[in-house]
Structure 1
Amino acid sequence: MTAHDARLHAFRTDLADIRLKGEVAADRFVSGRPARIATSVVDLRRTPRPDSGIDTQFLSGDDVLVFDEADGWAWVQGERDGYVGYVLVEELKPREAVATHIVSAPRTFVYPGPDLRFPRSGHLSMGSTVAVAGTAETSGTHYAVLPSGETIIAGHLRPIGEHATDFVSIAETFLGTPYLWGGASGFGIDCSGLVQLSMRMAGRDVLRDTDMQVASLGELLNIDADYSGLRRGDLVFWKGHVAIMTDSEMMIHANGHTMTVALEGLKDAVARIGYLYGGPTAFRRP
């Protein structure tokens, strides 16, 4: 048997993903049942309890595999980043219409029809995917029409496969967004969630947590004591934290100090963070 990270591999002593047969010990192996996230933002929990910690979040339209259901909870694995955990069964739906567009604004509203004066019927984060069935225009405002008849502002969507050219520019659109431990959406986000979502919108799916990102993203940089040589898009890692350089001196990060996504000078952050957590552990160029 080989070691597997339980965050990225679905296995318990009683049940495991059939793809892990021969690699992990379990009483029973099953194939995951395809499903899709049905609500705006879904918390993925470590255990099937409402007071369990949030490890990450799935967004509306994300595809998952369901390995088990019990007491209203589903044990699932996200197909985009492989993260494993528990969601409420009611937050899932069958996979039906193929997604055609992705939300490209940090946040957007869903309306019951093509009129921005209608009371909103929902809200979606950047990274959510939808199937667009048609278009409509009311008083010069263009709407994408969903199969349900609901609408989204057309300018807040982009076709699947159309990517931003600069993931840092995406991260900058989240300035002021509240910090949320485990958050991965435009309604609340943490440091590695900001990296993951920003890079996804630029066409690159990456792993979720800081330890995964520091082990897998790009090339390791040899940076000297005055931090020269860094450029826009480089990642700075501390133990349990990551920031994105916006230029050679400034960085953007979701952080517990301001409890927002904020800009901060790298040297200022090093001095502030070092008091409690030590200095940077790695610099990487994705």
Structure 2
Amino acid sequence: MDRRLTPATDRVALRGSGIARDGITEGRPMRVSAPVADLLRAPGGARDRQLLHGADVTLIEERDGWGFVQAAADGYCGWIVLSALTDERPAITHLVMAAATHLYSTADFKRPEQGSLPMGARLAVTGTEGRFARLAGGTFVPLQHISDHPAEDPVEVALRLIGTPYLWGGNSRWGIDCSGLAQAALHGAGIACPGDSDLQRDAFPVTDTIQRGDLLFWPGHVALALDPATMIHATAWTMSVITEDIAAAIARIDAAGDGLFLGARRPRLDDRIAFP
């Protein structure tokens, strides 16, 4: 079993998973309350991915201030600090679609910001006041930065993150990796997408041609085609999100010994996730 998608620790398994453990649990529905929270492979261990504000999870086990969870959006499992979770789950209505946004105590952009949220954060909007949306927690966010419907083009979503610093396992404007960028782009368009590049490669059908929106793969790396000749990706080569000529990237990555180009896959535009 792939540990990333296995809803069980060494002690407890989620009921219905078919996994035998001494403890079986129904799980507890929770939601990420922090702007961004690391999803770790062990308590205090290495980061696999990140979960964003408003992400729904099932809490499977608690241990010494950590919780083992499964993310609702893509099934990814891991450990998250319990202080980043809440059991308050008002109805989600909107998604942050700008690269990032600020939270305010009142509907006034001249007031000091109360915090920040990245693209992909899920919000419970309870009303509007001028150019701001009021959130269930009482803070306000600019209406221009949020949406209650998916983008039509995942590439356009990815382009909003140009210049974002590279971060292994990152999923936000404050740091993102190649598979995090691909998932952010597709999720922003309401298209289902796994969390890691190998899972993404397995999820989508092969295409012999390259068109806008296709995913391009190397061993351990993924990019998103802007057109048949150009791509966008988060790369440790520049430690940032950049656009690059596809042919030049294939030659550069091959010359560096990082592996041959594995071809393109085409996301299924009819495979939708709940939005937001």
**Aligning the two structures, in what range does the TM-score lie when normalised by the shorter sequence?**
over 0.9
What corresponds to 2:43 in structure 1? 48
Q: What is the rounded CA distance, in whole Å, between the counterparts of 1:96 and 1:174 in structure 2?
A: 28
Q: Determine whether 1:280 maps to 2:261.
A: yes
The answer to whether the Cα contact below 8 Å between 2:177 and 2:235 also exists between their aligned partners in 1 is yes
Amino acid at match of 1:29: I
Q: Where do 1:97-112 residues align within 5 Å? A: 97-112=90-105
Q: Determine whether 1:257 maps to 2:257.
A: no
Q: Where do 1:51-200 residues align within 5 Å? A: 52-137=45-130, 142-159=131-148, 162-200=149-187
Q: What is the rounded CA distance, in whole Å, between the counterparts of 1:92 and 1:12 in structure 2?
A: 19
Match 2:251 to one of 255, 264, 271:
271
Amino acid at match of 1:259: M
User: What SS does the corresponding residue of 1:133 show, helix, strand or coil?
Assistant: strand
Deviation at 1:134, TM superposition (A): 1.6
The answer to whether the Cα contact below 8 Å between 2:59 and 2:69 also exists between their aligned partners in 1 is yes
Calculate the aligned-residue CA RMSD, in Å.
1.2
Q: What is the rounded CA distance, in whole Å, between the counterparts of 1:78 and 1:70 in structure 2?
A: 18
11 and 148 in structure 1: CA distance in 2 versus 1, 3 angstrom threshold: closer
The answer to whether the Cα contact below 8 Å between 1:214 and 1:282 also exists between their aligned partners in 2 is no
1:25-60: CA deviation from partner (whole Å, max 9, x where unpaired): 3222111100000110010011101xx211111111
1:84-129: CA deviation from partner (whole Å, max 9, x where unpaired): 1011111110133111111110100001111111111111111111
Amino acid at match of 1:48: P
Q: What is the rounded CA distance, in whole Å, between the counterparts of 1:147 and 1:194 in structure 2?
A: 28
Q: Determine whether 1:37 maps to 2:17.
A: no
The answer to whether the Cα contact below 8 Å between 2:9 and 2:68 also exists between their aligned partners in 1 is no
Q: What is the rounded CA distance, in whole Å, between the counterparts of 2:193 and 2:246 in structure 1?
A: 24
Q: What is the rounded CA distance, in whole Å, between the counterparts of 2:62 and 2:167 in structure 1?
A: 27
Q: What is the rounded CA distance, in whole Å, between the counterparts of 1:103 and 1:144 in structure 2?
A: 11
Structure 1 unaligned segments of length 5 or more: list them: 223-228
Deviation at 1:164, TM superposition (A): 0.9
The answer to whether the Cα contact below 8 Å between 1:183 and 1:190 also exists between their aligned partners in 2 is yes
Under a length normalisation based on structure 1, what TM-score does the superposition of the two structures give?
A: 0.90
- Structure ID, larger Rg: 1
User: What SS does the corresponding residue of 1:277 show, helix, strand or coil?
Assistant: coil
Under a length normalisation based on structure 2, what TM-score does the superposition of the two structures give?
A: 0.93
Structure 2 unaligned segments of length 5 or more: list them: 268-276
Q: What is the rounded CA distance, in whole Å, between the counterparts of 2:137 and 2:15 in structure 1?
A: 35
The answer to whether the Cα contact below 8 Å between 2:9 and 2:61 also exists between their aligned partners in 1 is no
Q: What is the rounded CA distance, in whole Å, between the counterparts of 1:61 and 1:44 in structure 2?
A: 14
User: What SS does the corresponding residue of 2:224 show, helix, strand or coil?
Assistant: strand
Amino acid at match of 1:267: A
Q: What is the rounded CA distance, in whole Å, between the counterparts of 2:191 and 2:145 in structure 1?
A: 20
The answer to whether the Cα contact below 8 Å between 1:44 and 1:56 also exists between their aligned partners in 2 is yes
What corresponds to 1:225 in structure 2? none
Q: Determine whether 1:9 maps to 2:6.
A: yes
Q: What is the rounded CA distance, in whole Å, between the counterparts of 1:202 and 1:65 in structure 2?
A: 24
Q: What is the rounded CA distance, in whole Å, between the counterparts of 1:267 and 1:44 in structure 2?
A: 34
Q: What is the rounded CA distance, in whole Å, between the counterparts of 2:186 and 2:27 in structure 1?
A: 27
The answer to whether the Cα contact below 8 Å between 1:236 and 1:283 also exists between their aligned partners in 2 is yes
